[in-house]
Amino acid sequence: MSRKFAYALAASTLAIAAVPAHASSFNLHDQSAKGEGRAFAGGAAAADDPSTVYFNPAGMTELGKAAISVNSQFIFVHSSQQNENTTLQYPGVPVAVPVQGDNGGQPFAQPVVVPTGFAVGRVGDSPVWLGLGITVPFGFKATYDSNFFGRYDSLNSDLKAIDVQPSIAVKLNDHFSIGGGIDIQQINVTLDSALPNLVPGAPDGLAHVKGNDLSVGWNLGATATFGAVRLGAHYRSGIKHHLGGAYDISGLLGPLAGANGSYYATAPLDLPGIATVSAMYGVGKPFRLMLTGKYYNWSTFKDIAINPIGAAPTVSPQNYRDTFSVAAGAEYDLSNKLTLRTGTMYDETPTVDAYRTTRVPDGNRIWASAGMTYNLSKKFSFNLSYAHIFVGKEPLDRTDVLYQGTPAQTISTVRSTNTGNADIIATSLTWHI
């Protein structure tokens, strides 16, 4: 049973992202309503609201005054799985049999809400700025119907990471600023998946996983401004998590019944480092152009090693690849009250066909975004943005060995094609103190 636990807990760490994904695997871009409207182009260079704490803390020195912002992103994910001959091969049976079931229904909550908040302020008349960000950089929730054809891969997934980021920035001179922060990150995971009994047609068992971890990372950034041009660079470190939690098995019959019970295990999870470079033309002008490129070091996520108490360690391969995203955007101040913006982004998936799961039916994405800022008064401004994400159709062909190394060894092969897209509505209110 430890092998099944390995796949279950490994998948639980991925469940956050199965989004017909609106971000690179389970990393969420959605931290700022203003940034959403330009597809996050210029994120490390824009330095135009408190969310710069997350995208590049060096940008705090460009804000001019203390400010607090509260953001809400409402994510509507639309996804369906098409069965392409998913099978089980039972022990002693030479031929795999088709898994019966439906497409799982609409697995994603409507909407998924991603709240974030930021506060920044200057230390007296010094060149030093302090900031605090509370974000959800990783997060996902999906529940398939109990008769889902891919139920031996996934049924229910709920994972979120909450990141608290105290930050500091220093304006070195009229051209250069530097900044950095500490990322204190809590991850909580819940996962359910079905377990096959040995007799075809018998009721399924159930595997339930629940785990959590608190770990720390860091980030550094810099900006350089020359006339109407501002450049920004930012690096967010990978974070090494060590998940620990319970794995409960129930509903197994006959020779498998002895495995019913509760187990405890730990699993390391390396989240990727992310490097960002951005450029903005139009500093101080009514029309601004923005560009961003990001590199995600996903190749560190090759597998998840499970270390159960009282059982041998197991490894679940993931074999992610390094990826990139590129974004371009523009915005225009129609008046002192109203700013309009738009943007687009190409975002590559790190998943590969042979290791993709129904928890992460991910594909390459293209974003189309638009948004506005309305200055309610000298102290308050409101942002509203919309983004539509086109997700590429990607095949899934994954084989897992269940009950490996026992007479009950069963081979589960999930073959499917995922289609999906996502819509995001983002709002924020900023108080300029």
- pLDDT (0 to 100) of residue 24: 67
Handedness of CA 325, 14, 86, 354 (dihedral sign): positive
- For the stretch 196-210, pLDDT in tens is 999 777 899 998 888
Handedness of CA 193, 197, 199, 201 (dihedral sign): negative
- pLDDT (0 to 100) of residue 404: 83
Q: What is the DSSP string of 100-112?
A: P-B-----B-SSE
State which residues form the domain around 267: 2-432
How many residues are given for the chain? 433
- For the stretch 241-275, pLDDT in tens is 999 998 888 999 999 998 888 889 888 889 999 99
Q: What is the pTM of this model?
A: 0.89
299 phi and psi angles, rounded to 5 deg = -65, -15
Comparing C-alpha atoms, which of 347, 307, 361 is closest to residue 11?
361
- pLDDT (0 to 100) of residue 23: 61
318 phi and psi angles, rounded to 5 deg = -120, -40
- pLDDT (0 to 100) of residue 314: 61
Query: Which of the residues in the chain have pLDDT under 50?
Result: 1-21, 312
CA–CA dist 59, 47 (Å, integer): 5
Q: For position 10, which CATH number holds?
A: 2.40.160.60
For residues 36-58, b (16+ Cβ closer than 10 Å) or e, as one string?
Answer: bbbbbbbbbbbbbbbbbbbbbbb
The three-state secondary structure class of 298 is helix
Query: How many angstroms from the chain centroid is the CA of residue 235?
Result: 17
- Number of domain units in the chain: 1
